[in-house]
Structures are given as structure tokens and as C-alpha cells.
Chain A
Amino acid sequence: MKNLVIGATVLILSLGILYAGVGLEFGAPPFTDMDDYFVSHGQEQTGGNNIVTDIVFDFRGFDTLGEATVLFTAVLGAGLAFRKRREDEDYEYE
């Protein structure tokens, strides 16, 4: 019964995702207004030649701030998982 449910879920998901993948058109994106603006104005507004870096650090700076915060939090979590425990610390895992 459980295998049947998993198989049905995988089948439905596969059909849906494949239908979406086949329907897209490669090589001609439909909506390009924002990217056209970045390519034509990014150099004069930020001064950098690399448009991707201009977007990452200038146009979408808040995005990069959140990304750096996520990386920092992941490092904090890994450090907490492997911290050195004191001898008299009582911890129960069961």
C-alpha cells in the first residue's frame, strides 16, 4: 500500500514536471524587460563591466545580505552540532 502511494506520487509529479519542461521554449525567453534594462544601463549606473556582479552586489544587494546571513547561520549551526561538551553536562538523547 505504501509503495503504491509512493509510486502514484512519483508518476503524477513526473508527468507534471515533464509537461512543464517540454512546454518551455529554449533560446528565446519571453519576458526580458528587466534584463534588457540591466544590460543597457548597468554599466553607467554602477561602473562595473561584469553585469552579473553588478546585479549581485548593487541592484540586488539585499538578496546578497540575506545569502551571507544564511551562510553565517549554517556555520553557527554546524559549530553547535560539533561543540565540545563538558564532562558534568547532562544531556539525554532518548
Chain B
Amino acid sequence: MFFNLPFIVAALLVILGITTMLIKRNLIKMIMGLALVEAGVNLLLVSIGYRAGGIAPIFTSAPDGVMVMPTVQAMTLTNIVIGIATTALLLSFVMVIYRMYGTANAEKVRKLRG
């Protein structure tokens, strides 16, 4: 029945991430939502490249069989590293904001700015 379960799970992850970013007011939780969206996109990319019964695209002592698509795996690798970099940068900024304003609530920070 659930023949395309990985795509549905990826869609649910993206929806949960966007919902978290919309309804939460804590900056740390908004960054958690962004990380959820990244995880959903990674799962979508890897799922797109899967062929039924495929093996990993590596020829070292490879068994016989069709290989899965390698380009989406390379793009997933790029996505993971960029996700780590942006998440670390955003968390650094949240730490600076917390030290300056004493809170990580987005609305209160905006009110302080006037």
C-alpha cells in the first residue's frame, strides 16, 4: 500500500519543520525547525535516486546488480555540510542575541529594537 513511504515521510518532515518555524517564538526552536527541513530535503534527495534492488555506486569488490544514482548522493553530501555551517552560524548569532538582550524570544527582541 505505502509504496512511496519515503517521499511521504520526507514531506511530513518538511511540513513539521515549516510549522515549527511559523508557530514557535523561541529562536533556538526556529533553528530546530530549519534543521528538520534540511533533514526532509536530504531524505527526499536520497529517495529520488533509489532504484529497486540497487547497490551503492562503488566498484570496489562490488556484487553484480544495477547501481543507484550517484549525483543525488553527491548533492546530499553538499547539503549536509552547508547545513552544518549555516546552523552553527545561526546558533552563534542566537548566543550573541541572548547575551545582548537577555532573551531568545523573537517578539521581545523585536520590541526592544523599537
Contact = CB atoms under 8 A, between A and B. Distances in A.
Indicate whether A and B are direct neighbours in the complex (CB within 8 Å): yes
Interface of A: 6, 9-10, 13-14, 17-18, 20-22, 24-29, 32, 34-35, 38-39, 42-43, 49-52, 55-56, 60, 63-64, 67, 70-71, 73-75, 77-78, 81-82, 93-94
Main secondary structure of the interface of B (DSSP, over half): helix
Contacts of A81: 92-93, 95-96
Interface of B: 3-8, 10-12, 14-15, 18-19, 22-23, 47-52, 57-60, 67, 69-71, 73-74, 77-78, 81-82, 85-86, 88-89, 92-93, 95-96, 100, 112-113
A38 B70 CA distance: 8
A29 B57 contact: no
A64 B15 CA distance: 29
Contacts, number: 122
A70 B85 contact: yes
Main secondary structure of the interface of A (DSSP, over half): helix
Given A10-B19, A74-B85, A67 B78 contact: yes
A51 B60 CA distance: 10
